Structure 1
Amino acid sequence: MNTNYNHSFRLPAEWEPQSGVILIWPHEDTDWHPYLEEITEVYLQLADAITRYEALLITARDSEMVSSLLKERLTEEQIKRVTLFTCDNNDTWARDVAPISLISNKASEGGSQPLHLLDFCFNGWGEKFAAEKDNRINRQLYETGLLQGVLENHKDFVLEGGSIESDGRRTLFTTTSCLMAPHRNQPLTQEEIDKRMRLLFPNVERIVWLDHGQLAGDDTDGHIDTIVRIAPNDTLLYIGCDDEKDEHYEDFQLLEGQLKQLRTLEGRPYRLLRLPMPDAIYDDGERLPATHANFLIINGAVLVPTYNQPEKDKAALNTIQEAFPDRKVIGIDSRTIIRQHGSIHCLTMQLPQNG
């Protein structure tokens, strides 16, 4: 574990300026194999949307094949924004594999400051799935110079990017169900994990632990990015549930109650924007964790999962537009992605601008 915590660095909010986004490309030996063509099309749509606004770093087992696909889909100008790196992978969830980046507090004083790239242990969400190849990706990218900054080894601590949300200032959000789940960081207590994270993210003064809101079919034990997201101006977007017959109803009512009781560090209530609970989607009898909250914020746009549910998709897109009025809100059909129990935010990781 690194112990030289530099208090001039902070964990930014996702809507702050970015230098690029990371994607890990699917292949036939991942769990995407039964619908590889369909998920490849989703990845091409993501690549198209992202490269209209910023750079894209793709790791792929067969980078030549991916390059060929991209050249058929993207313009020459977009292709210039793509960097391909060849390496193997177990799966494709960049949000939980790629480094969590800290930026300098002193960037506004002039001069470029290197990112601090925190490389945590990813163990397949509590040893549910193989992850040894995924766990090596960051080091490989760094050693070839594709990750610009200082790579910090925190492999003694399990932390997934989807399990935390930052306001870019002094508050971090997470869920009790995930960070206290088995096979993560036992025997650490919640108090000890809280303290550890405030050391890792030195700008954070408090961690808000949410105790409710786990989606059926979620392999992650309740990642925050599936239920509650932070937006500018002390805004929280969250999933609500009004259907008393829905299995989520009671838990999400409790989540909403907890959010209404929260206050900012300045003592003000948060601005709450409610996203609809998508109608249940099943695959082979199993309910999938469909959620509009799993959106990706990039420079100038927000990429939002949709589920071919026109009324609810439109309501979610309009609500997210209200939270991000200066960005274009782009819906991307995510019915294939949720077949592997994640969505757009889970597949991606942004790299902030380094000063």
Structure 2
Amino acid sequence: MSWLMPAETAPQDRIWMAFPREGQTLGETLTEREAGYAAWAHVANTIAEFQPVSIVVDPTEMARAKQMLSAGITIHERTIDDFWMRDSGPTFVHDADGKLAAVDWVFNGWGGGDWTASGNDRDLARFIADLEGVPVVPSLLVNEGGGIHVDGEGTILLTETVQLDPGRNPNLDRTRVTEEMARTLGTTKAIWLPRGLERDYETFGTRGHVDIVACLPSPGVILLHDQRDPSHPDHAVMKDIRAQLAQETDAQSRGFQIIDLPAPETQTDAHGPVDWSYVNHLVINEAVIACAFNEPRADAQAQEILAAAYPGREIVGVDATELFARGGGVHCITQQQPKPRAQ
């Protein structure tokens, strides 16, 4: 059986999310927790204005979720640990006939940090696959959806510090990971980035997820995080990554058109250099849900670049500061379910 992960621009049936539940990443104080709930709900309600949204809700949060979510959002009650659906949930693929299936990665809490638990999320992909009536593509690879980006034509972006992380896959090398991506996602060309953004290696980080670094809005094109302040550690990181990508080719042997997506002007918060990134956006059928950071000039510039990269889609900015304060952005908390491909 062959599988292919379509590009994120492919037609979608719905978006999957998980509603926050109390824990270290949501926040220690009532004010912090309320801000987290509001941020997740705002993203879900914004997407629901365009297309169906299904959200998994822990039993402890059902009352709150029903109060905060739009009436049209489908709620599925299930015990969960984390609420970053891109990572704990399935990655959807097509089979050779265009029918849908769901890849079930091993999720171990981004390498098994002592601040996270993953036991209740281990079979979340199978739970969602059963709800949708689609087969499961099992995998023994520890991986998360935020750690990959594909163009739908065979190209995949990966990060050495994610898939080759000793806390994830201590016995695997590039070749074996690349082969597993080819088996489960149909990719034929893996581009390995050396690392991710600096903040992503702190306590609540993912150790280098690619979805705040670079993405493939269309074949042969890369949207790339651009930190222009030399005092920020990501300036040097991205300089090296850009130089690498300028020499790479995709699965179809094309060189890349690199489109720089400048970082917001804010450089630091109370914890140090930020990893705020406009790369972490969600493409849906008629729109792009973009991260915004309460910076009118930078937000507008990013949305103009996204509009050119995704012609015909409305660009909708949502405040992502509370999401990034907890370790990710709009793309990290969502997962697209593509439509079956017409034959």
Match of 2:262 among 276, 282, 292: 276
Quick one: distance in 1 between partners of 2:128 and 2:239?
Answer: 43
Correspondence for 1:14 among 8, 11, 16: 8
Among 199, 211, 236, the residue aligned to 2:194:
211
Matched, 1:116 2:107: no
Tell me what 1:255 maps to.
241
Contiguous gaps of at least 5 residues in structure 2: none
1:206-239 deviation line (CA, Å, top 9, x unaligned): 1111224423244111111010010124211001
Shift in Å, 1:324: 0.3
Task: Select 1:24's aligned residue among 4, 18, 38.
Answer: 18
Q: How does 1:18-167 map to 2 (within 5 A)?
A: 18-29=12-23, 31-33=25-27, 34=29, 35-61=32-58, 62-70=61-69, 74=70, 79-80=71-72, 82-107=73-98, 113=99, 115-128=100-113, 129-142=116-129, 145-154=130-139, 156-167=140-151
d(CA) in 2 for partners of 1:31 and 1:257? Answer: 34
1:244 matched residue in structure 2: 230
| C-alpha separation in 2, matches of 1:95 and 1:285 | 25
Per-residue Cα deviation, 1:253-289 (whole angstroms, up to 9, x for no partner)? 1111111112234433212111112234545433332
Q: Which runs of 5+ in 1 are unaligned?
A: 1-5, 108-112
Query: Could you tell me how far apart the structure 2 residues matched to 1:279 and 1:105 are?
Result: 45
Deviations 1:178-200 (A, max 9, x none): 11122111111122211222122
Quick one: structure 1 residues 131 and 277, their matched pair in 2 at CA, closer, same or farther if it must change by over 3 Å? same
Contact (CA 8 Å) 2:293, 2:320: kept in 1 or not? yes
Decide which of 180, 197, 206 is 2:181's aligned counterpart.
197
When the two chains are superposed, the root-mean-square deviation of aligned CA atoms in Å is 1.8
Tell me the TM-score normalised to structure 2 length: 0.90
Q: Do the aligned residues in 2 keep the contact of 1:305 with 1:333 (CA within 8 Å)?
A: yes
Query: How many Å separate the matches in 2 of 1:320 and 1:38?
Result: 27
Pairs aligned (count): 331
Q: Secondary structure in 1 aligned to 2:41?
A: helix
CA distance in 2: counterparts of 1:284 and 1:133, whole angstroms: 32
Percent identity over paired residues: 24
* Aligned partner of residue 290 in structure 2, secondary structure: strand
Which residue is equivalent to 1:110? none
The answer to whether the 8 A contact 1:305-1:343 is kept is yes
Paired with 1:41 and 1:212, the residues of 2 have a C-alpha distance of 31
Cα distance in 2 for residues equivalent to 1:45 and 1:285: 25
